Each structure stands twice: as structure tokens, then as C-alpha cells.
Amino acid sequence: MMTISGKLSGRHALVTGAGSGIGAAIARALVSEGAHVTLAGRRREPLQALAEEIGTTGVHVVDAFDVTSPEAIARGLASAHTAFGPVDILVNNAGEAPSAAFEKTSLDMWNHVIAVDLTGVFLVTQAVLPDLKARGTGARIINIASTAGLTGYGYVSAYVAAKHGVVGLTRSLSLELAKTGITVNAVCPGFTDTPIIKRSIETIVEKTGRSAEQALAEFTKSNPQGRLVKPEEVADAVLWLAAPGSASINGQAIAVAGGEVLAG
């Protein structure tokens, strides 16, 4: 069972894509500061395992939460309301990052990545916005984008395009909502030690014959610190943005990447 402090006591956070990796780390961090957290995702098994690991009454599981489906979002939000009332911290974390050369990127792949990684942020945010507006001051929208939303990478053109869109949406919405007391920010992790990276390494090994160590080096070389980002480091940035002291932080895209992307 986690040790609970109280910086976010009484707050209700909805985290999409909460079953593993960055989403799970964010959920743990929010609960550790006293928030009630709705764990939203498509598959129940990892969400339930995380809820049991956290071991508090302050978590609620919503499965079959497809961020591309307004109906699924509405059902999940209704369940979250029943558990903990209106949402006042929204963390849009759900995303996918399939890899393909641009010439081999099918329209189906393009549409799927844009739907999950960008349109999903739009749909979930629009559904939760009445809750956030009712809360007003102190409400938070925190979008998990990527350094791919700040720069470019080869072989993930759909993902890069989607994450640039998330950063743009963050900036636009932050201005629209600035006078409501709601802040809107993006956290942009570099390559992070998550199941997505593990699968990417396995794919590189399978397709190229390189060792796992050589494949890992492809991801760590862009980080000046020479390592993968830890999910907990991303979660700490989210926790800071969710806390009361971050009220003046708005419309920002914060890189968590060891210095890979420097502000101009």
C-alpha cells in the first residue's frame, strides 16, 4: 500500500492510458499526494493490477475506455462521476507509436495514430471540460505529448504529426481557458523506459539482427545524459503541474528529456 500525503487531497484525477508505463507512474504519483484517481484504459487486467498494487480506496477502474469513441468516453466518465464526482484534473496520456517509413505508412496507420494520439485528446478534453469549468480555479488539463511534438524523428511521421498537434492544441486551449482558472500544459518526454520502447527494441533486433544493447543505443544517443527517461520523472512533472503552486504555468510544453530539446 502506498504512503499518502495530502497536496492533492480531495481532488479527482482522470488518467487515460493508465495501465502501464508513464500512465501508471502518473497514477501512482497522484494517489501518493491524496488524489482520487480514475484509471482509464481499454483493457481491464492491467488497470485492475495497478489498482491492487496501489492498494487504496482512492482508485477507480474504468475499462473499455476507447479515446476515439465519444460513446465509450461518456460511459467511462459517468462511471468516474459515480465513484468520485466531477473530474478536476485531466491527464491525457493514451497514445500509440507504430513505426514505419513514410512511404510505407498506410492511410489506415496514419488515421489510427491521429485518432488515438490527437483526436482522442480532443474528444476526452471536450467531454471533461464541463467538470473542469465547474471547478474553475485549480482545475488542470495535462497532456502527455512528446519531444516528437517539439522536433522531428524519422520513421514515425504519423506520431510526430499527432504530437505536434497535441502541443498546438495545448497552446490554443490554454489561451481560451486562461481566465477560467483552468491551466492547460503539455509534458513532452523523450525516449522513456516503457513497454513501447521495449517493443521497439525487440522489433529492431528482429528486423536488423542487431543486439538489444545496440538497439537501445539508438534511443539513448539523442539524450545528452545518455539514458532513457524514467516514467517516474515524467510523473513528477505532471504532479508539479497538478499542484496548487503551478497556477501561473499555462500553455507550456515542458520537455523531460535530459537536455535533448532546448528552448529557443
Point out the residues that are catalytic.
159
Question: Among the residues of 12-105, which ranges form H helices?
Answer: 21-32, 44-54, 70-84
Angle, in degrees to the nearest 10, between helices 44-54 and 21-32:
30
What values do phi and psi take at 12, rounded to 5? -120, 115
Cell digits of residue 182: 483552468
Sign of CA dihedral 174, 146, 132, 122: positive
Cell digits of residue 77: 466518465
Sign of CA dihedral 113, 114, 120, 121: positive
Write out the E strands in 45-196: 59-62, 89-92, 140-144, 183-189
